[in-house]
Amino acid sequence: MFQRHLHRHDDVDLVMSALGNDSQCLPVLITWGAALRRDVASALREVIATGTWQSDFRVRGAAAHWREEPRFQVFLEHGLEKRRDRGPKYEHLDAALLTFPETRAALYRVSAAQCPQHCRTETGTFAEDRHVDDYREALFGWYAAIQHAHACVVRAARWFATAQPSDSRRPETFTDWMTGTRRRHSSSAVQEKEPATQGALQEIILMMHAWSPHTFEAIDVAFQRAEGEDASHAWGGSFEPAGRPEAQAAAEALASVLTPQERQHVRDVIDAIEADDEDRDMDLAKDSTLACTSDRHRTYGTDPAERQDCATARGRVFEEVSQPWSEGVDRKADAARLARFLLGPRSDRIQAALATARAGVARESAERAAQVWRDNAEPLREAREAAGLDVHDAAGYLGIKPATLQRFEQATGKLPGRPVSLGYLQLLALTCKQAGRTTPVCIPQAISQPVISLPATLP
């Protein structure tokens, strides 16, 4: 276990042990579990959005050892255990994210391209490593909370079944007590209670399901028996045996205190959880109009256009790697290249764009680029200046000295080389497109088209 990330884990254990057999442990656990689950989802989105996971020493070590791009899966597995009673497992994390489609979309995006996916913004004064600490502390806190779920349900149900109707703490129904509400006889009051009731049921059921994969089946069997039907468990050998007695005891306790209407409500909540469709999340991950998954982009007054650029770039990365596989196509390499092109620093993106566009120009067209530049040096220089491209920046993108670029733009000395001249013409076409200006007519379409048809992600 990661001792430095056990603060919230120990807090949960301390409070739950202090409550002991107090029936109030269930409402406390529901409230705490909901907060921890939200924190896990939010912190994981920030880890992905800011790229802080790349600083993990295991991620860097694996990338260096295998000479590949940093892999998010290495970071994710570093915080997860294979054994149920030694730390949070992947199943525990998956259950925590079941009702947070934005976080799941962010996971799809970063896993699909197998390379860094992060916001093109400054993270401000907030320490980047805090995102990782927040995520792991919330995850270990969630792990501690779910261990108490079944026991708290049993304890609360026993108290509710034995409490006297005159007890001021005992409302009319068990779900009313879970949410801390009092049933009134007006229909409007019942309507006001519904969202709180559904939220509380969803949280405790998710916590039970996270700790034991047998929870849903145990509830179904217990409810059928409570309604007089003949039902039995069909737990298969492939299921993890741990958690079966806990799930069965909690399900039978619930069945003994819930009314028929409440049992149906529980069934509806379980159906909603099981109806989760991964295809919906994948569509969400590819949606270019989805706002950035980072909370920082939603809450810190970031420019809306910048948020849109982040969403568009990530959507294109996922869309690219989700294309059907075909012979001779290396999707992983294409995804890594496209991600660097879309999400890297500005200079890297421009150089990647020029490299990509250069491959789309026929050899005969590329050979004419030097003469096109020499014959139209003056209007091309004017177009560069009008588009706001500095001579030093342009020289840097082309990999030459500013003095050399100035000499070429004055049409003095020898002709520029083919790679430089082709890059210069395509850089001008790209810059004009970004600035909203017309591409100089002297640049052949065979040279400008491959670059201006690329995604506009350079601002």
> Of 17-21, 170-174, 357-361, which one has max mean pLDDT?
357-361
Q: Nearest Cα to 346, choosing from 245, 434, 446?
A: 434
Check residue 77 and give its pLDDT: 84
Check residue 146 and give its pLDDT: 92
Of 279 and 105, the structure prediction assigns the larger pLDDT to: 105
Q: Which two tokens stand for residue 175?
A: 């779900």
What size, in residues, is the chain?
459
Write the single-letter amino acid at 315: G
In the 8-state DSSP scheme, what is residue 4?
G
Phi-psi region of 114 (alpha: psi -120 to 50; beta: other; left: phi over 0): left
Average pLDDT, whole number, for the chain?
77
Distance CA(72)–CA(366), nearest Å, equals 39
Whether the per-residue pLDDT at 326 is higher than 50: the answer is yes
Write the single-letter amino acid at 81: E
Q: Which of 55-59, 335-339, 370-374 has the lowest mean pLDDT?
A: 335-339
How much of the chain is in helix, strand and coil states, percent to nearest 5? 70, 0, 30
**Is there a contact between 438 and 387 (Cβ–Cβ < 8 Å)?**
no
> Of 96-100, 181-185, 274-278, which one has max mean pLDDT?
96-100
Check residue 306 and give its pLDDT: 64
Check residue 10 and give its pLDDT: 79
Whether the per-residue pLDDT at 42 is higher than 60: the answer is yes
Q: Which two tokens stand for residue 381?
A: 């220089």
**Is there a contact between 98 and 320 (Cβ–Cβ < 8 Å)?**
no
The Cβ of residue 371 has, within 10 Å, a number of other Cβ atoms equal to 11
Percentage with pLDDT > 90 across the chain? 11
Q: Give the confidence band of 208 by pLDDT, cuts at 50, 70, 90.
A: very high
Burial class for 219, CB neighbours closer than 10 Å (0-12, 13-18, 19+): buried
Whether the per-residue pLDDT at 290 is higher than 80: the answer is no
Whether the per-residue pLDDT at 226 is higher than 70: the answer is yes
Check residue 185 and give its pLDDT: 43
Percentage with pLDDT > 70 across the chain? 71
Write the single-letter amino acid at 153: V
User: What residues have CB less than 8 Å from 115, skipping those under 6 apart?
Assistant: 69, 70, 71, 335, 336, 339, 340
Interhelix angle 377-386/402-409, nearest 10 degrees: 130
Check residue 421 and give its pLDDT: 92
Give me the mean pLDDT over the 168-189 stretch.
62
Whether the per-residue pLDDT at 45 is higher than 50: the answer is yes
Check residue 429 and give its pLDDT: 92
C-alpha torsion sign, points 17, 97, 73, 277: positive
Of 72 and 183, the structure prediction assigns the larger pLDDT to: 72
Write the single-letter amino acid at 433: K
Core vs surface per residue 394-423: b (16+ CB within 10 A) or e = bbbbbebeeeebeebbeeeeeebeeebbbb
Write the single-letter amino acid at 395: A
DSSP conformation letters of 310-335: HHHHHHHHHHHHTSPP-TT--HHHHH
Q: Which of 2-6, 185-189, 233-237 has the lowest mean pLDDT?
A: 185-189
Whether the per-residue pLDDT at 314 is higher than 90: the answer is no
Check residue 330 and give its pLDDT: 65
Q: What is the tens place of the pLDDT at every residue in 383-414?
A: 998 888 888 888 888 888 888 898 888 887 78
Whether the per-residue pLDDT at 380 is higher than 90: the answer is yes
Check residue 110 and give its pLDDT: 73
Give me the mean pLDDT over the 52-80 stretch.
78
Q: What is the tens place of the pLDDT at every residue in 16-36?
A: 888 777 777 888 888 888 888
Distance CA(427)–CA(346), nearest Å, equals 13
**Is there a contact between 316 and 308 (Cβ–Cβ < 8 Å)?**
no
Q: How many helices (H) and strands (E) does the chain have?
A: 25, 0
Check residue 78 and give its pLDDT: 81
Check residue 312 and give its pLDDT: 66
Give me the mean pLDDT over the 54-82 stretch.
78
Distance CA(139)–CA(416), nearest Å, equals 58
Q: Give the confidence band of 190 by pLDDT, cuts at 50, 70, 90.
A: very low
Give me the mean pLDDT over the 304-326 stretch.
62
DSSP conformation letters of 14-81: HHHHHHTT-TTHHHHHHHHHHHHHHHHHHHHHHHHHHTGGGG-HHHHHHHHHHTS---HHHHHHHT--
Q: Give the confidence band of 239 by pLDDT, cuts at 50, 70, 90.
A: low
Whether the per-residue pLDDT at 165 is higher than 80: the answer is no
Tokens 């149900």 — which residue?
A: 157
Q: Give the confidence band of 2 by pLDDT, cuts at 50, 70, 90.
A: very low
Whether the per-residue pLDDT at 372 is higher than 80: the answer is yes
Q: How many CA atoms lie within 13 A of 136 on its CB side?
A: 22
Write the single-letter amino acid at 165: P
Q: Give the confidence band of 229 by pLDDT, cuts at 50, 70, 90.
A: confident
